[in-house]
A and B are shown apart, each in its own frame.
Chain A
Amino acid sequence: MSFLSIRNLSVRLKKGPSLLRRVSLDVAAGEVRGLVGESGAGKSMIGKAVLGILPPSIEVTGGEILLDGVDLLQLPPAQRRKRIGATCALIPQDPLTALNPSHRIGPQITDRLVDILGWTRPDAETRARELLAEVQIADPDRVLRSYPHELSGGMRQRILIASAFAAEPKLIVADEPTTALDVTVQKQILKLIAGMQARHNTALLFVTHDLGVVSKVCQKLSVLYAGMVVEDATVADFFAAPRHAYSAALLAATPKYTDPSAGLQPVPDAVIAAVQAEVAAFDKGLAHG
């Protein structure tokens, strides 16, 4: 059975437009699923809904988020928080803003272990040191005592990755974890996440707009348009033959660095019009059904 199973999840701005339209997807234990789509397609929204960090201006209007068979949306808030904290983790997008500037690194890695999972402080600190070594940080003891501003962006992203894996979560949501980084660092971080994921056998929901990244890291993917899953496929199938016209166009729009003469291929207007008509038809169906 899938560890994470999202069923018909609908989310909208309070009394406003829909942001997710009956999204369904599964992530099995140890599996990596990519979530791709344009900006605003709702890929990050899915991750936020799973982790219970949707902004207060957004409400869930229907569906289920089953985590290990339990619907998170039915749990009382305190229980939901505990469950998420114990089994899930987030690798955030921007390492420069995701660490608390007035706390040292050490407590920011160990806090969940100590406060939520009840580890002793020495145990948690030993674990933090191991994790920093695993993300290839040379001088763990110094780094644990440092403040975020004393470390580089790449270093901070490594720390956030280490922190995400600290409690051996079953599921990690990586929200465009390389977007804010330097191109040269991106590759290392990507490799690091993939390696950690494989070693710890963690399910990973990988939010990205980069199909190149998906082909390297993921086994399955969901293509989103306007909060609707237009295609759900294995990566192998998708890159061989995308089924939906929009995802095919999206794939064609990916720059081909091997052949610069090909130029950039925008998603054709006709495809956009077709997928928008699909969304409109879906909304109409909802209104009538």
Chain B
Amino acid sequence: MPILRILLVRLLTTAITLAGVAVIVFFVIRVVPGNPIAMMLPPGATEEDIARLSALYGLDKPLIAQFGIWVSGVLQGDFGTSITTRQPVLDLVLGRLPATLELSIMALVMAMILGGAAALTGTRYRGGRTEGAIDVANGMALSVPDFLWGLVLILLFGVLVPVFHISGRVTPSLDLPFTTNFYLFESLLRLRFDLWADIVAHMFMPALALAIPLAAIIGQLLKQSLKETMNLDYVTLARTKGYGETRVILREALRNAALPTLTLVGVQFTFLIGGTVIIERLFSYEGLGNMAIDAVINRDLPLIQGIVILFAVIFTAVNLIVDLLYTVLNPRLRHG
């Protein structure tokens, strides 16, 4: 069972990766200037106050000892307590994770729909003006970064034609019956389409801003590999059977052409998740990224560590999912 083997190998490499990430983030945030104690105390605090507060958070111990305490905690599922909010880091981080996951997945779905549509249309009408127009649009989408798209969208659909909400995750006055923080999914499951619409109206622009550059990448790469696939013998053979151009693209070419794109989408999706940090800030969206920025501003060391570790877990999970999907889509890998 190659899938089982992939999983085992991945589990091992993931553990090593996470250990590396833990070491780097722990020491780097302690080397950079600024410390949480200085942020907490009012001006004019005495040396004694500083020492007492440092001791309270264990920041007076040698670095290696602090690291040991943190790691042994993490191994037992205790990621420490946030310095600013005094709440367990794990609760804070897991509370925000659903918001970011929903945003990223919505952005990914949008990117695949937009990019896929661009690639298929471009392939169907290849060599003509339609393909040229798609190439130009792709180029534009690619050359503007996601946060600028965010500003453009806010201007267009938040200010000029205000159809979407420009900040937050849900209208604050609404009564939320949710038991999880997966608002988007839970509202669907509870058949509360009114809430769902409100949530989508909040998520639409940040998700689209994240999606546009990825859509352009998908569109370009998929179109390229579709066009190459269209010249292969099995596609020609399908034409002689009486299939029209659209059927040939969808039935014969798409699945084979999607494979190289999929690998890239996996890598790009992790960049997209990284992009949520700024986009969430821009749209005041209450996700992990927004929390990460606050944590850095406040030098909330345990919280920063927790968020970074969680991001690392997400990245490796995404890569694993891509590898598994690849195996499913490509029958040649299944019996390897």
B332–A85 touching, CB < 8 Å: no
Among the interface residues B231, B237, B243, which one has the most CB atoms of the partner chain A within 10 A?
Answer: B237
Interface size band for A: 20 to 34
A55 to B240, CA, bound (A): 13
A112 to B330 alpha-carbon distance, docked (Å): 23
B8 to chain A, nearest CB (A): 25
Considering only residues 83-97 of chain A, those with a C-beta below 8 Å from chain B are: 84-86, 88-90, 92-94, 97
A56/B237 in contact, CB under 8 A: no
A97 CA to B255 CA, complexed, in Å: 16
Distance in Å: Cβ of A159 to nearest Cβ of chain B? 12
- When C-beta atoms are compared, the residue in chain A nearest to B253 turns out to be A100
Question: Inside 8 A of A97's CB, which chain B residues have their CB?
Answer: 232-234
Does B329 sit at the interface, judged by CB under 8 A? Answer: yes
Q: Nearest B residue to A50 by beta-carbon distance?
A: B240
Q: Flag whether B172 is at the interface (Cβ < 8 A).
A: no
B233 touches A53 (CB 8 A): no
B43: chain A residues at CB < 8 Å are none
Distance in angstroms from A160 CB to nearest chain B CB is 8
Contact A102 B233 (CB under 8 A): no
Please pick, from A52, A89, A116, A149, the residue contacting B332 in the complex, using a CB distance under 8 A: A149
A15 to chain B, nearest CB (A): 15
Interchain CB contact under 8 A, A92 and B239: no
Partner of B239 from the list A81, A94, A111, A149 (CB cut-off 8 Å) is A81
The size of the chain B interface, using a CB distance under 8 A, is 23
Inter-chain contacts of A149 with B (CB < 8 A): 331-332
- Do B240 and A52 have beta carbons less than 8 Å apart? yes
Residue among B127, B234, B256 with max Cβ neighbours from chain A (10 Å): B234
In the complex, what residues of B have CB within 8 A of residue A99's CB?
Answer: 234
Which chain A residues lie closer than 8 Å to B331 at the CB level? 101-102, 147, 149
Digitize B226-268: 1 where CB-to-A-CB distance is under 8 Å, 0 elsewhere: 0000011110111111111001000010011000000000000
B239 touches A53 (CB 8 A): yes
Bound Cα distance from A99 to B243, whole angstroms: 15
How far apart are B278's CB and chain A's nearest CB, in angstroms? 38
Cα of A69 to Cα of B21 in the assembled complex, Å? 74
Task: Determine how close the nearest CB of chain B comes to the CB of A177; give it in whole angstroms.
Answer: 12
**Contact residues of A with B, CB < 8 Å?**
51-53, 55-56, 78, 81-82, 84-86, 88-90, 92-94, 97-102, 111-112, 115-116, 147, 149-150, 160
